[in-house]
A = this chain, B = another copy of it.
Amino acid sequence: MPGKKPPCIPSGTSSENINAPSQAVDTSNTTALFKGLSEENLQSLLSNSTVRSIESGREIVQHGDEVKHLYVIIEGSVKTLRASAEGEEATIRMLTAGDTFMDAVIFMGGTSPIRATAIKQSKLLMIPAHIIRQQVLRDGQLGENLLKIVSGHYKNAMQQIDSIVTKTPVERLGYYFLKLHMEQDPNSMEVELPFQKSMIANHLGMKPETFSRALKKLKSIGIDVDHERISLGDAYSLCHYCDPDTAFSCPKHGTPDCKPGGCN
């Protein structure tokens, strides 16, 4: 396997390190991490943190690194993935502003089982791992916030497993679109793909070619994708791909037209 060699360059490269200005971080909508923290505890986190800019494509954390920070994305996007020695990748999460990562890893013990890569020019808030670990013992609210965050990741991972094992590529794609639709704007008939198609394909456990063919099949039921714009035929066209779990948080749930995949 020549050619595609896993990058072995030490990270921490051409990136400016600024000392954490607490005003640089919007603590209100940025994250569930800071929710409900006392002013004192919040400051204690922020005053120890730094902000760092990183350019697209750079590795933030490598497989096997000792993880020294919890990261909050201030702007840009990042993906987390597992990569095999053969160069094959399995994308775990794709993140945008407000998301955190390495939040779970710092409680795992041992080195990082995942890699994190910037997929856009990004600005990251870095909170030292030892500060987090220390403060969790004192601040129950922080613990609860982290538990909610990590549990959420776990839930997504379980859905990802489920998708890959039990669903066809077309169904996986439909399900992914549905979730995008719901988190972006459940009333709009347009959805936007927030990431590169090949990256989404990998996240859904399929090859770009298969992704492309799946798009074609969705077109035949009224879901048209032009570049990164998805337009839905009618408001219910994605409902077929719904699962009971997602239905629960859907405004259309209960409507006569709501027939999630399994109920028929």
| Chain A residues at the B interface, C-beta cutoff of 8 Å | 63-64, 82, 84-86, 88-90, 92, 104-105, 107-111, 113-114, 133, 136-144, 146-148, 150-155, 157-162, 164-167, 205, 243-245, 248-249, 260-263
Contacts and interface: CB of A to CB of B under 8 A. Distances in A.
A133 B143 contact: no
Nearest to A157: B157
Given A150-B154, A154-B104, A160 B161 contact: yes
B108 A165 contact: no
A105 B186 CA distance: 25
A105 B90 CA distance: 25
Quick one: which of A82, A92, A110 has the most chain B CB within 10 A? Answer: A82
Quick one: which of A64, A92, A133, A143 has the most chain B CB within 10 A? Answer: A143
A138 to B, nearest CB: 6
Given A90-B165, A137-B144, A140-B140, A262 B109 contact: no
Contacts of A245: 63-64, 110-111, 113
Given A88-B166, A158-B114, A162-B90, A137 B146 contact: no
Contact of A147 (B150, B157, B161): B150
B108 A166 contact: no
Given A85-B262, A140-B136, A158-B113, A107 B148 contact: yes
Contacts of A205: 161, 164-165
Contacts of A244: 63-64, 85
A249 to B, nearest CB: 7
